């Protein structure tokens, strides 16, 4: 849904409450609560105007948002109504890194994955690919699939990978035909963990992306682009084939990891496009103590594509309903075939 449609929808939602305001009260602009509401709305709007990094890239007319929403703010809104009002404005950004947090709720924009097929079934993976005897090397769940293919599931980059975890994995893959790393439904976490795992796969240092920071209120006020790189680990992968499995719930640091892997030789991204998340969020606080955040950087591939919109797979595969009925994961099966046949 584009931002003008969202604005229209929100205005309709609040129309009934606006009509309840008497003419006398509507003209009384000295109400402290209304001034507070207006001030907080304008504060958030202005901060996004000045520091959000994707207004031009996403072709959002932010001035129109202010014109449309400013008249809606009024003192009759209770806290929950005002929270929903501000959350709806953040939703216009269509950014999973844009949130508002209060003591009673946390807004979230999840259309980046809810509008697409899940392409993952945790029960099928647990029962039929990890099984009873998988190894747990820190956050890495590891099993050996048919044909001596090592399968690794990593569900969150918030969980620390230690050197000894990678040594265990290295011992296993040294005798294997290939490696499948599954990060489906991984919503991100620590970028340092993404770089660490990518560095373990790399035989030499390399640049995987470029980043710049929003530095001022102008639409073109950005720092110079700087290179983002991966430092290779001592582990030598050689010609070991690596398949990375993705779906739309791969976001933020996991999205960055996908970009890192895409630059390595003998790799393939298999599954669905990632959900995106290419900006580093900054935080702010409203006068009532509510915390908000939104993206303040841009990240592009070396060839110029924005990571904000996700990384496309090399081999596009959706989960097949008949496969699921048989307890098979179509994306894992496609990865095994790629390892065997390429």
What's the pLDDT at 236?
Answer: 85
pTM of the model: 0.90
- Sheet order of strands, 315-316 included: 135-137, 140-145, 149-153, 178-182, 241-246, 267-271, 315-316
Tokens (6 digits) for 167: 């040594």
Q: If you average pLDDT over residues 285-296, what whole number do you get? A: 96
Distances (CA, A) of 70 to 2, 52, 88: 19, 19, 13
**Mind listing the pLDDT tens digit for each residue in 191-235?**
999 999 999 999 999 999 999 999 999 999 999 999 999 999 988
Share of residues in the chain with pLDDT > 70 (%) = 89
Tokens (6 digits) for 17: 């409450």
What's the pLDDT at 25?
Answer: 36
Asked if 179 and 241 touch (Cβ cutoff 8 Å), the reply is yes
Identify the three-state secondary structure at position 90: helix
Residue 330 phi, psi (nearest 5): -60, -35
**Mind listing the pLDDT tens digit for each residue in 136-149?**
999 999 999 999 99
d(CA 161, CA 254): 14
- Return the number of other C-beta atoms located less than 10 Å from residue 27's C-beta: 9
pLDDT above 90 for 249: yes
Give 28's pLDDT tier (boundaries 50, 70, 90). very low
Task: Give CB contacts under 8 A, 24+ apart, made by 170-175.
Answer: 170/200, 170/235, 172/135, 172/142, 172/144, 173/237, 173/240, 175/148
Query: How many Cα atoms within 13 Å fall on the side-chain side of residue 290?
Result: 23
Give 14's pLDDT tier (boundaries 50, 70, 90). very low
Residues sharing a CB contact under 8 Å with residue 322, sequence separation 6 or more, in sequence order: none
What's the pLDDT at 74?
Answer: 86
Give 30's pLDDT tier (boundaries 50, 70, 90). very low
- SS3 of the chain: helix, strand, coil, percent, to 5: 40, 20, 40
Q: Where are the alpha helices (DSSP H) in the chain?
A: 3-19, 23-27, 32-51, 62-69, 79-91, 111-114, 122-125, 163-173, 191-201, 253-262, 321-325, 330-341
How would you classify residue 336: left for phi > 0, otherwise alpha for psi between -120 and 50, otherwise beta? alpha
Tokens (6 digits) for 33: 């609560």
Task: Give the length of the chain.
Answer: 342
d(CA 106, CA 241): 41
- Return the number of other C-beta atoms located less than 10 Å from residue 130's C-beta: 21
**Mind listing the pLDDT tens digit for each residue in 36-49?**
899 999 999 999 99
- Strand 149-153 to 140-145 pairing: antiparallel
pLDDT above 60 for 35: no
Q: Which residue has the higher pLDDT, 34 or 265?
A: 265
Distances (CA, A) of 2 to 93, 115, 232: 10, 14, 42
Q: If you average pLDDT over residues 94-114, what whole number do you get? A: 96
What's the pLDDT at 29?
Answer: 39
What's the pLDDT at 5?
Answer: 54
Q: If you average pLDDT over residues 68-73, what whole number do you get? A: 94
pLDDT above 50 for 93: yes
Give 27's pLDDT tier (boundaries 50, 70, 90). very low
Beta bridge mates, 270: 245, 315
Q: Which of the residue ranges 8-12, 61-65, 162-166, 295-299 would you say has the lowest mean pLDDT?
A: 8-12
Give 237's pLDDT tier (boundaries 50, 70, 90). confident
**Mind listing the pLDDT tens digit for each residue in 121-179?**
999 999 999 999 999 999 999 999 999 999 999 999 999 999 999 999 999 999 899 99
What's the pLDDT at 342?
Answer: 61
């Amino acid at each position: 849904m584009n931002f003008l449609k969202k604005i229209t929808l929100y205005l309709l939602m609040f129309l009934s409450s606006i009509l309840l305001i008497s003419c006398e009260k509507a003209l009384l602009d000295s109400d402290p609560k209304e001034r507070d509401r207006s001030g907080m709305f304008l504060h958030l709007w202005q901060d996004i105007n000045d520091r959000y990094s994707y207004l031009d890239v996403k072709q959002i007319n932010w001035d129109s948002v202010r014109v449309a929403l400013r008249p809606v703010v009024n003192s009759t809104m209770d806290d929950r109504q005002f929270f929903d009002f501000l959350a709806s404005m953040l939703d216009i950004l269509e950014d999973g890194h844009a949130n508002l947090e209060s003591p009673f709720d946390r807004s979230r924009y999840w259309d980046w994955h809810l509008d697409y097929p899940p392409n993952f079934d945790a029960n099928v993976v647990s029962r039929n690919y990890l099984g009873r005897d998988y190894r747990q090397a820190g956050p890495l769940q590891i099993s050996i699939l048919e044909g001596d293919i090592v399968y690794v599931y990593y569900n969150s980059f918030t969980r620390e990978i230690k050197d000894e975890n990678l040594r265990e994995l290295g011992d296993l893959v040294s005798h294997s035909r290939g490696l499948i790393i599954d990060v489906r439904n991984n919503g991100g976490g620590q970028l340092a963990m993404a770089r660490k795992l990518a560095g373990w796969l790399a035989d030499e240092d390399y640049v995987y992306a470029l980043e710049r920071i929003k530095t001022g209120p102008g639409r073109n006020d950005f720092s110079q682009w700087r290179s983002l790189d991966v430092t290779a680990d001592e582990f030598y992968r050689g010609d070991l084939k690596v398949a990375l499995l993705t779906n739309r719930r791969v976001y933020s640091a996991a999205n960055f990891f996908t970009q890192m892997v895409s630059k390595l030789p003998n790799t393939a991204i298999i599954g669905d496009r990632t959900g995106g998340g290419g900006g580093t969020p900054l935080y702010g606080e409203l006068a009532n103590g509510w915390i908000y955040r939104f993206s303040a950087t841009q990240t592009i591939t070396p060839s110029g594509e924005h990571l904000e919109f996700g990384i496309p797979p090399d081999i596009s595969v959706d989960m097949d309903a008949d496969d699921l009925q048989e307890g098979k994961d179509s994306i894992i099966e496609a990865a095994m075939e790629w390892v065997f046949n390429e």
